[in-house]
Each structure stands twice: as structure tokens, then as C-alpha cells.
């Protein structure tokens, strides 16, 4: 029996400390020293933590502490080893961990995104074997998602049937009820956003969401990945925001975006939502 999306995310969070702890301790010790001196500095930054962990030879840090250590000592120990998209991932995974702790629900899309973020962070930490293990879990979530999804509206019938004209042009060839044909291709939400904007430059966020997920979709399904794409330079954001001049998105001129970003990314918990 297939695992639920939530259980798969939980299993990924159990793997995460194995790859993060050696990296986090190495960076902290290089920047702040070792032993009780390091423990005192951590205790000053996080006074509600017990400090015994830094006074022992063999320490074990849980996921929450590892993520908060990266965030809390970013400037001193991690800014040169990671980039700003990795810090975004850290904040996103803190939010994921909190949702797990409070029995939050996870859709297949939520699980795929969380696992992809874990994979990127582990790669940045040099834990490539564990990143591959997480990637296999992510693939299983995607397979489960597509196995449960009904055929998109307009694609029912004989194999190869299509509502599009015989000319083969697909731009604008959907009724708005189902996802746009070019956005239905397999891949992450990030990849599908880039594919949609490539076909529909100047789209608003809500138009991108509905083009990918159908007319009942909300912009919250894509806003984190759009913000990440803007930060990475894979999308250009135009407009000033708001009802009178909403943000619109297009690809950089002459730029061929990497459809599967390796450097990691995500929207920090509590950050302003892109529109």
C-alpha cells in the first residue's frame, strides 16, 4: 500500500538530519570554535535550548535545531557556503516541520515540493547519496499523484484525440476549465510555471495558476515557486502590484531557464506573497 503524502514527507524529515548535521557542525565549528565555547554562543542566540548538546563529544541534533542553526547563524557561518535560495529553503522546511508537528495535511503537490527542497538542501550540504534517496521518494509521490489523477477534460476519448486544431498550434487552445496542454506535462510546479510563461508571456499569477491547475485553482498554488523563479532570474516580474497594475511575468530575453533548479529555493515562511 502506497504511503500518504504526509507520511512520505515525515520519512524525508527523518533522513534530513543525517546529511545536515555533519555540515552544520563543520560550519559552526569553523566560524565559532568548538566545545563549550560554541555551546555558549549557541545558548546566547537560542536561550531556550539546553546547552548539553555542545558539551558532549557525540552530539545529535534534530531537524528543527539544525534548520534554526543555519538560519540563526547565517551571516557568521553559512552565508559563504550557501546562497540566499538555500536560506529560503531552510525557512520553508521549518514551516514544513511545524505543519508535521501540528498534524497538518499535505497534498501530493505539497509533498513533492517539500521533498524537492530537502533534496536541494542536502546536495548543497554535500550529502549526495541522501539527496538521491529523497529524490526517489519524490518520484514515488509524483507517480502516485498521476496514477490518481483523472484524465484532463478535453482529453477523453480515443488515444491521440485532442481539442486543438489539426494545425498543431496549442497556444490558447483550451477552454480554461482544464489545465493548458503545455502545462500538463510531467514535472515540478516550478517547471510547469516556466513552460506556461514561455507560451503566455505577460501572464498574471492567477492566470498561471489556472493555466496549470484549472479554473478553480488559486494563486497560492504557485506563488512560492514564482517568487523563487524571480529570485533566481528565471522569470522577470513587471508591474507595481495591486489591482491597478498587477504583477506580470515573462522569461528573460534570450534566457533558457534551467527547468530543474539544482541550487535549491523556496519562499521563506511568513514572507510577503508574490502576486
Least confident of 12-26, 72-86, 112-126, 172-186: 172-186
Contact 247, 275 (CB under 8 A): yes
pLDDT for the residue 175: 45
List, in order of start, the domains of the chain with CATH numbers. Answer: 5-148 (no CATH), 168-275 (1.10.10)
Give the integer Cα–Cα distance in Å for 151 and 235. Answer: 30
pLDDT for the residue 39: 75
- Each residue's pLDDT tens digit, 216-232: 878 778 888 888 888 78
- Each residue's pLDDT tens digit, 61-88: 889 999 999 999 999 999 999 998 899 9
What is the rounded average pLDDT for all residues in the chain? 77
Higher pLDDT, 265 or 150: 150
Q: Say how far residue 152 (Cα) sits from the centre of its chain.
A: 25
**Residue 143, pLDDT above cutoff 50:** yes
- Each residue's pLDDT tens digit, 171-206: 444 444 444 444 444 468 888 899 899 888 888 988
Whole-number percent of the chain with pLDDT over 70: 73
Global pTM value: 0.57
C-alpha cell at 114: 517539500
Give the integer Cα–Cα distance in Å for 131 and 116. Answer: 9
Contact 203, 248 (CB under 8 A): yes
Arithmetic mean of pLDDT, 224-244: 82
- Each residue's pLDDT tens digit, 97-106: 999 998 888 8
Alpha helix segments (H runs only) across 125-221:
128-148, 189-199, 205-213
Contact 251, 235 (CB under 8 A): yes
Amino acid at each position: 500500500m502506497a504511503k500518504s503524502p504526509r507520511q512520505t514527507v515525515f520519512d524525508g524529515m527523518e533522513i534530513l538530519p543525517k546529511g545536515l548535521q555533519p555540515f552544520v557542525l563543520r560550519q559552526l565549528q569553523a566560524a565559532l570554535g568548538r566545545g563549550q565555547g560554541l555551546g555558549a554562543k549557541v545558548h546566547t542566540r537560542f536561550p531556550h535550548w539546553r546547552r548539553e548538546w555542545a558539551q558532549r563529544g557525540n552530539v545529535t541534533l534534530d531537524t528543527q535545531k539544525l534548520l534554526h542553526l543555519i538560519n540563526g547563524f547565517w551571516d557568521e557561518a553559512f552565508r559563504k557556503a550557501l546562497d540566499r535560495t538555500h536560506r529560503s529553503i531552510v525557512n520553508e522546511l521549518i514551516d514544513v516541520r511545524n505543519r508535521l508537528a501540528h498534524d497538518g495535511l499535505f497534498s501530493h503537490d505539497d509533498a513533492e515540493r517539500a521533498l524537492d527542497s530537502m533534496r536541494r538542501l542536502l546536495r548543497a550540504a554535500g550529502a549526495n547519496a541522501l539527496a538521491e534517496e529523497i529524490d526517489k521518494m519524490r518520484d514515488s509521490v509524483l507517480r502516485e499523484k498521476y496514477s490518481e489523477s483523472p484524465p484532463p477534460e478535453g482529453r477523453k476519448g480515443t488515444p491521440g484525440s485532442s481539442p486543438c486544431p489539426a494545425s498543431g498550434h496549442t497556444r490558447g487552445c483550451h477552454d480554461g476549465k482544464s489545465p493548458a496542454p503545455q502545462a500538463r506535462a510531467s514535472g515540478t510546479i516550478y517547471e510547469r510555471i516556466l513552460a506556461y510563461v514561455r507560451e503566455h508571456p505577460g501572464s498574471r499569477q492567477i492566470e498561471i495558476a489556472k493555466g496549470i491547475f484549472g479554473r478553480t485553482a488559486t494563486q497560492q498554488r504557485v506563488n512560492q515557486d514564482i517568487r523563487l523563479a524571480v529570485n533566481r532570474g528565471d522569470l522577470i516580474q513587471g508591474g507595481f502590484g495591486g489591482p491597478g497594475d498587477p504583477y506580470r511575468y515573462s522569461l528573460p530575453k534570450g534566457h533558457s531557464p534551467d527547468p530543474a533548479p539544482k541550487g535549491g529555493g523556496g519562499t521563506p515562511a511568513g514572507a510577503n506573497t508574490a502576486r
